[in-house]
């Protein structure tokens, strides 16, 4: 029997690559501090989550926290490639996401409307030029019908006041409240855009990591196909093992194409969310996902809910909308009973032509009340205003309940997914060791290629599960920070 090929170097390098690819370490904003502690709002005695780096060899360096905020990158590098990290996508999303820009323009419009409503009491200056001519029969003041041939001209200026304090004062107050709501809504939109960008960035990072895992799996299957084929040709192997290794290689190559598609889709979704031009290609700078330590796992949920209700801009938005609706009710009840003031003073030159003008002036003042639709006794208007106030109150309550649910959901996800980190790490370590042992048995001539194939498939599945668990854990932490109004 011909000697069995024993590619110990290939096996050793493969195992080393797998071990290096699975290094993990926590992402911390500071030594022993979570993002809550870093901002000075977490309880000093709050328990810290389980350290996800426990059990990792000391030689593995800890991962660095997200870099401090700075200016967005000037542009993509050569070839349209733009490396991005979490702080970068957060800044870009808050600055140039299209939804944010749309809401920002709405705030500018609200500012302009409020500026108009603030000056409702100022008089209007008019500059009239009039020319009138009459030829023929008219009725005189005494009632007699006479033939006339007359004309008149006027040139001057007029100050006109048309005040509706019962309407315009309330409208000015409601305009200020709606402006405050729009500004709070802009803050909420910016944070929603930042969360969406962070989740899309993690999706891109996960897709890139899956592509690396599958690529290494393809390389291992290629080496295994060559090894089993050599054994079969030498008469020391089974052709069925060769066929199975080739089938697994083909399946791994199909998976590699699918993962490449996932990378392209994730990159396109992130690019669209950041409003970047299509020619830019985004790549996550992190080589693979690592567990972050941004939010505490064990913390008082009641305190977090209260903190979220104080910090979230959506609450301020809803409260200001409710206040504007309450102003509308007061306007409907009180406004019609406040009279409308009309006053005007007109001065200039008057004569039978513009070449023969003499000085003249006229003053007029009047008060009026409106009775009926839009005025006193308009019950339909009052009922509408009251219904809108109740509607705004219900929406404010709905916003608060949604925020509390988001806090509870994210807190539960952080706890459960954090506990899954240790299990996923253990699975990767054991699968890596198992592959090394089966490789060693094969090199000693007592193992089968089938065992190596199964061990490699198990390791690939464990590594893909690790990526999924870590990314899910990090996304849950980001959602919790967003839920309490403390996104990075």
How many Cβ atoms sit within 10 Å of the Cβ of residue 367? 10
For the ranges 11-15, 82-86, 458-462, the lowest mean pLDDT is seen at 11-15
* Residue spans of beta strands (DSSP E) within 143-271: 145-163
d(CA 185, CA 166): 29
pLDDT category at 297 given cuts 50, 70, 90 is low
* Most confident among 36-45, 224-233, 446-455 (mean pLDDT): 224-233
Look at phi and psi of residue 65 and say left if phi exceeds 0, alpha if psi is from -120 to 50, else beta.
Answer: beta
Query: In DSSP terms, which residues pair with 359 in a beta bridge?
Result: 349
pLDDT in tens, 206-219: 999 999 999 998 98
Answer whether 7's CB lies under 8 Å from 223's CB: yes
pLDDT category at 271 given cuts 50, 70, 90 is very high
Helix %, strand %, coil % of the chain (to 5): 60, 15, 25
Token pair 């960035």 in the structure block, residue: 201
How confident is the model at residue 451, as a pLDDT? Answer: 80
Q: What is the mean pLDDT of residues 249-261?
A: 93
d(CA 420, CA 91): 31
Token pair 């007592």 in the structure block, residue: 446
CA-to-CA dists, residue 484 to 188, 232, 302, angstroms: 12, 62, 11
pLDDT category at 78 given cuts 50, 70, 90 is very low
Strands 340-351 and 358-368: antiparallel
pLDDT in tens, 351-373: 888 888 888 888 889 898 989 88
Which of 256, 216, 257, 276 has the alpha carbon at shortest distance from 84? 276
More confident residue, 247 or 30: 247
Which of 256, 346, 274 has the alpha carbon at shortest distance from 98? 274
pTM of the model: 0.76
Q: 31: Cβ–Cβ under 8 A, 6 or more apart, which residues?
A: none
Mean pLDDT of the chain: 81
For the ranges 318-327, 390-399, 440-449, the lowest mean pLDDT is seen at 440-449
pLDDT in tens, 308-358: 999 999 999 999 999 999 999 999 999 999 898 888 888 988 888 888 888
d(CA 451, CA 449): 5
Q: Which residue segments constitute the domains of the chain, with CATH numbers given?
A: 8-122+169-340+393-483 (1.20.1600.10)
Phi, psi of 334 (to 5 degrees): -100, -35
Answer whether 55's CB lies under 8 Å from 422's CB: yes
d(CA 468, CA 259): 14
Q: What is the mean pLDDT of residues 59-73?
A: 38
């Amino acid at each position: 029997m011909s000697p069995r090929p024993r590619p110990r170097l290939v096996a050793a390098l493969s195992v080393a690559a797998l071990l290096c690819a699975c290094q993990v370490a926590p992402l911390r904003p500071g030594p022993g501090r979570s993002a809550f502690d870093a901002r000075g709002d977490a309880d000093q005695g709050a328990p810290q989550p389980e350290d996800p780096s426990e059990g990792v060899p000391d030689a593995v360096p800890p991962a660095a926290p997200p870099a401090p905020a700075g200016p967005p990158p000037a542009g993509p590098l050569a070839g349209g490639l733009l490396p991005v990290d979490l702080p970068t996508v957060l800044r870009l999303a808050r600055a140039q996401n299209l939804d944010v820009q749309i809401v920002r323009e709405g705030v500018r419009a609200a500012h302009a409307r409020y500026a108009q409503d603030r000056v409702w009491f100022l008089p209007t200056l008019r500059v009239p030029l009039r020319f009138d001519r009459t030829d023929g029969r008219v009725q005189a003041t005494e009632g007699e019908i006479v033939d006339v041939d007359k004309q008149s001209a006027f040139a001057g200026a007029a100050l006109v006041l048309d005040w509706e304090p019962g309407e315009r004062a309330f409208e000015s107050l409601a305009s200020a409240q709606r402006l405050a709501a729009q500004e709070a809504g802009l803050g909420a939109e910016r944070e929603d855009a930042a969360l969406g960008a962070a989740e899309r960035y993690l999706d891109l990072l996960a897709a890139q990591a899956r592509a690396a895992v599958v690529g290494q799996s393809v390389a291992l299957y290629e080496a295994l196909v060559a090894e089993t084929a050599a054994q079969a040709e030498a008469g020391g192997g089974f052709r069925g093992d060769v066929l199975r290794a080739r089938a697994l290689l083909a399946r791994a190559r199909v998976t590699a194409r699918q993962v490449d598609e996932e990378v392209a889709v994730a990159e396109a979704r992130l690019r669209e969310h950041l409003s970047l031009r299509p020619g830019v290609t985004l790549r996550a700078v992190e080589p693979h996902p690592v567990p972050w330590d941004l939010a505490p796992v064990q913390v008082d949920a009641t305190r977090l809910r209260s903190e979220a209700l104080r910090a979230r801009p959506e609450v301020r938005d809803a409260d200001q909308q409710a206040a504007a609706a309450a102003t509308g009710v007061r306007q409907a009840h009180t406004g019609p009973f406040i009279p409308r003031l009309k006053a005007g003073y007109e001065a200039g030159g008057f004569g039978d032509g513009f070449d023969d003008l003499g000085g003249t002036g006229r003053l007029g003042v009047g008060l009026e009340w409106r009775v009926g639709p839009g005025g006193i006794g308009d019950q339909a208007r009052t009922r509408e205003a009251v219904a809108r106030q109740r509607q705004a109150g219900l929406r404010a309550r709905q916003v608060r309940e949604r925020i509390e649910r988001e806090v509870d959901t994210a807190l539960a996800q952080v706890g459960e997914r954090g506990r899954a980190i240790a299990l996923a790490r253990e699975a990767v370590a054991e699968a890596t060791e198992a592959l090394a042992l089966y490789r060693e048995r094969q090199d000693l001539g007592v193992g089968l290629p089938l065992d190596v194939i199964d061990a490699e498939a198990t390791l690939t599945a464990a590594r893909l599960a690790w990526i999924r668990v870590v990314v899910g854990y990090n996304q849950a932490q980001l959602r919790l920070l967003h839920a309490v109004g403390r996104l990075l």
